[in-house]
Amino acid sequence: MRRILTTETIKQVGKTVLLQGWVNAVRSHGKITFFDLRDRTGLVQAVTKEKINLKAESVISVSGKVVKRPEKLINPKLDTGIIEIQAEKIVLITQSKELPFPLDTDGHEIDESVRLKYRYLDLRRPRMNQIIKIRSQAVNFIRQYLLGQDFVEIETPILTKTTPEGARDFLVPSRLQPGKFYALPQWKCRLSSKTTYFN
């Protein structure tokens, strides 16, 4: 079965689907457990009668039937709020550890050093996720505009500062000139590059 994204579930009512993502929240109501599954497109609620031990931010795979929610249980705050997944099979891919900070906040109360240490978690917060998407759209808009003005996009380290992020240069001995070195920026060693436009 092909995995689909959470936002695609709305068009799959009555069908069995396969979803993968992070556990966003878990709510136990006696014999029934509800949990929200999150992927890069959004959230969808799933329900199961199985006893499950899921922690927030654990990575799971869920297969189940997409059904419409009863009228009184529709959640207008979610794009997928009119449906839910009746989970038939839940596979734990990775169980998360204790989180160093909650991911459902705007992050202002979290110490900056903690946010930087756990940057991979910080970027999952909704606010940071939105910033990444806006930045991506802005960069794409600029790129399309400049290309439309007949600019040429090139990627070369020669047209940038040697240490754009302030890191130490990576020295590589020259084979052709003994005793001399090439000073390579750290970012080049990480195989990233800067983009320059000209016309």
**Segment 117-134 mean pLDDT:** 91
**pLDDT-derived band of residue 159, with 50, 70 and 90 as boundaries?**
low
Return the closest-CA partner of residue 15 out of 90, 85, 119, 113.
Answer: 85
DSSP helix/strand/coil, 46: strand
Instruction: Quote the pLDDT of residue 185.
Output: 61
Of residues 51 and 135, more confidently modeled: 135
- Strands (DSSP E) contained in 32-127 are 32-39, 42-48, 59-68, 83-94
Instruction: Quote the pLDDT of residue 173.
Output: 84
**pLDDT-derived band of residue 156, with 50, 70 and 90 as boundaries?**
confident
**pLDDT-derived band of residue 175, with 50, 70 and 90 as boundaries?**
confident
- Answer yes or no: is pLDDT of 186 > 50: yes
Return the closest-CA partner of residue 63 out of 76, 50, 72, 53.
Answer: 50
Where are the chain's structural domains? 6-94, 112-198
> DSSP secondary structure string, 146-191?
HHHTT-EEEE-GGGS-S-TTSPPPEEEE-SSSTT-EEEE-HHHHTT
Q: What is the CATH number of domain 6-94?
A: 2.40.50.140
**pLDDT-derived band of residue 191, with 50, 70 and 90 as boundaries?**
very low
pLDDT digits (tens, 9 = 90+) for 69-111: 999 999 999 999 999 999 999 999 999 999 999 888 888 889 9
**pLDDT-derived band of residue 190, with 50, 70 and 90 as boundaries?**
very low
**pLDDT-derived band of residue 149, with 50, 70 and 90 as boundaries?**
very high
**pLDDT-derived band of residue 11, with 50, 70 and 90 as boundaries?**
very high
On whether the CB atoms of residues 10 and 79 are closer than 8 A, the answer is yes
Instruction: Quote the pLDDT of residue 192.
Output: 44
**Segment 147-151 mean pLDDT:** 95
